[in-house]
Amino acid sequence: MLKKIEAIVRIERMPHIKERLEEIGIYGFALSNIQTWRYETTPTLPRFKGKPDIYDLVDKKKIDIIISEDLVDSIIDAIKEQARTGGTNGQIGDGIIAVSSVEQFSSVATLSNQSH
């Protein structure tokens, strides 16, 4: 069965993630520029109606990989290993990974050994 891995990671970690995926034999994936948002309060900012608010959008990268089920764990481990910052457990904002089943998959192009 095929699985789809979606990972949202910090931009600066992408070269490390790409290199690690190549090391384990993954040479292609979709990559998108996205923005994430997380509500935070911080006491160092000016207060609006008594409440310090931050509403910042953060640039991130989204990786999409469709792969056979037997490779999922090694890909997740590779992404986690290279996406984490600040030690072995990482930090808030390092990213997320989701895995879902692929019901149907088809390639747009048909590959053949014939040259035209």
Under DSSP, the state recorded for 25 is T
pLDDT digits (tens, 9 = 90+) for 54-95: 567 889 999 999 999 999 999 999 999 999 987 777 788 889
Distances (CA, A) of 26 to 30, 36, 80, 112: 12, 26, 15, 21
User: Which domains occur in the chain, in start order?
Assistant: 2-101 (3.30.70.120)
38 vs 68, which has greater pLDDT?
A: 68
pTM equals 0.77
Task: Give the integer Cα–Cα distance in Å for 73 and 99.
Answer: 10
